[in-house]
Structure 1
Amino acid sequence: MRFAFIDARRCQQWPVSVVCEVLGVSRAGYYRWRERQCRPGPRQTRHLAINEFLLNRARQMEHVPGYRKLWLEAQDAGFCCGRNQVQRLLQEAGYRSRTASKPGYRRSKSSLPVLPNLLNRQFSVGAGNRVWVSDITQVRCREGWLYIAAVLDLGTRQIVGRAMGPVNSSQLVLKALEHAWKHQRPAGKNLLFHSDQGTQYRSEEVMTWLNNRQVTISMSRRGNCWDNACAESFFALLKKEWIQPLGMIHRDEMVDEVRYYIDHYYSKVRRHMTLGGLTPSAYVAAS
């Protein structure tokens, strides 16, 4: 009965996390209950059977083959399916061949600029709106990937900007930057923005947006994740503390969970030793 109550109100004001906490039930239990309520039809049942075969076969082949070879495997096994259908099902399941390049980190065009590492791992910043660091991560959902772009203020350790969506592009970075700029309103000429060398950050749209606001741009050295360790560390915490216990959930549900973690738990509940044991919100209030 409590799970039905939560489900009836999941799209209203309160996120699932808050309602589950108030009613004394687990989020994972709610999502398992909700999944049992969704009974697949004949078409979905056929897709599930094909997808189960594809993923099992890929596991047997050490996740080496791509969708074309797995399509041939399905054909030989007697499944009636098209190559594009196999590609779509594997994408929705979040499968990638071990030999495929990581999404968003393919070799970029030579015309895209690479800027020096001005931050140089100087992660201790005395005030807010002086240094922002940013990165993009991906989270697997039932419909496929959810990409998360975050902008972290090194002075306060707050996530000042965020954006989420099913596509990893420069527009995701722009949305996160615009979200940060709207709420923080920094002096651009006093701000350093640091990221890795991903094509999203090196795009003309993002460079122009930052240059128009007189922001100084810094980039990590190629293949050196330690140059952007604070942003990497935030995503590691997000996945370990919040996302992993959820299991496989739908994309819109994951968006709600990530938004709640960033806006409430990480900012107002989680204490940071780099801030003297204060939460980011309490540190800003005390500054």
Structure 2
Amino acid sequence: CIPGYRKLWEAAVAHGFDCSKGRVQRLLQSVGYRSKSGKRRYTSRAKIEGTIKASNLLRRQFNVDTANTVWVSDITQVRCKDGWQYLCVILDLYSRKVVGWVTSRINNAELVIKTLRKAWSARKPDGANLLFHSDQGAQYVAKETVKWLTNRGVTVSMSR
């Protein structure tokens, strides 16, 4: 079984090659490779193995009285000269300041964990008193991300 162009692109980027998904796809097509789509299976997000769903504990209460008690995070993509970059940012709701940010060419759970590590080393919060809030993106509901947070006693909150 030959992997698709997306997985081949991820592997190429991980090994230091500078290329786009489109270039990998064109190269594969130039040697006669054609992908075959399988039957699409519809499933709810809660049933996807390896993901964890959390309640919305923040409930739009954006005014916080103490630093390092509520952190919020999101990921955005930025078009650059050499392709897309993904930016993960963590804000402290008390000060509304960025406590950690990381960019990557690949949008995955490792991007979130790297950002959490950076914020954690900069702020050194008490995990038992910290609420981490995000959306239910695949990077945030991934087992690795939730495990990293729960190992430090952080309460996880996710909006719909």
TM-score normalized by the length of structure 1: 0.41
Partner Cα separation in structure 1 for residue 24 and residue 132 of structure 2: 45
Q: 1:139 aligns with which of 78, 83, 103?
A: 78
- What is the root-mean-square deviation in Å for CA atoms of aligned residues? 2.1
TM-superposed deviation, 1:172: 0.5
Partner Cα separation in structure 2 for residue 128 and residue 208 of structure 1: 23
Partner Cα separation in structure 2 for residue 86 and residue 139 of structure 1: 26
Q: Who is 1:180 aligned against?
A: 119
Runs of 4+ more than 3 Å apart: none
TM-superposed deviation, 1:158: 1.0
Report whether the alignment pairs 1:215 with 2:154. Answer: yes
Return the letter of the residue paired with 1:154. Answer: L
Q: Who is 1:84 aligned against?
A: 26
Partner Cα separation in structure 1 for residue 25 and residue 88 of structure 2: 32
Q: Give the SS at the match of 1:119.
A: coil
Q: 1:110 aligns with which of 48, 54, 59?
A: 48
Q: Give the SS at the match of 2:63.
A: coil
Larger RCO, structure (CA 8 Å, separation 6 or more)? 2
Structure with higher strand content: 2
Structure with higher helix content: 1
TM-superposed deviation, 1:150: 0.4
Report whether the alignment pairs 1:192 with 2:144. Answer: no
Q: What 5-or-longer segments of structure 2 have no aligned partner?
A: 1-21, 30-43
TM-score normalized by the length of structure 2: 0.71
Partner Cα separation in structure 2 for residue 168 and residue 178 of structure 1: 16
Change (3 A) 1:124 1:84: same
Change (3 A) 1:83 1:182: closer
Q: What 5-or-longer segments of structure 1 have no aligned partner?
A: 1-66, 68-80, 88-106, 222-287
Identity score, percent: 50
Larger CA Rg, structure 1 vs 2:
1
Q: Who is 1:59 aligned against?
A: none
Partner Cα separation in structure 2 for residue 82 and residue 197 of structure 1: 30
TM-superposed deviation, 1:146: 0.7
Q: Deviations over 1:45-66 (max 9, x none)?
A: xxxxxxxxxxxxxxxxxxxxxx
Partner Cα separation in structure 2 for residue 208 and residue 82 of structure 1: 34
Q: Who is 2:32 aligned against?
A: none
Partner Cα separation in structure 1 for residue 140 and residue 70 of structure 2: 16
TM-superposed deviation, 1:84: 2.3
Q: Deviations over 1:218-258 (max 9, x none)?
A: 0001xxxxxxxxxxxxxxxxxxxxxxxxxxxxxxxxxxxxx
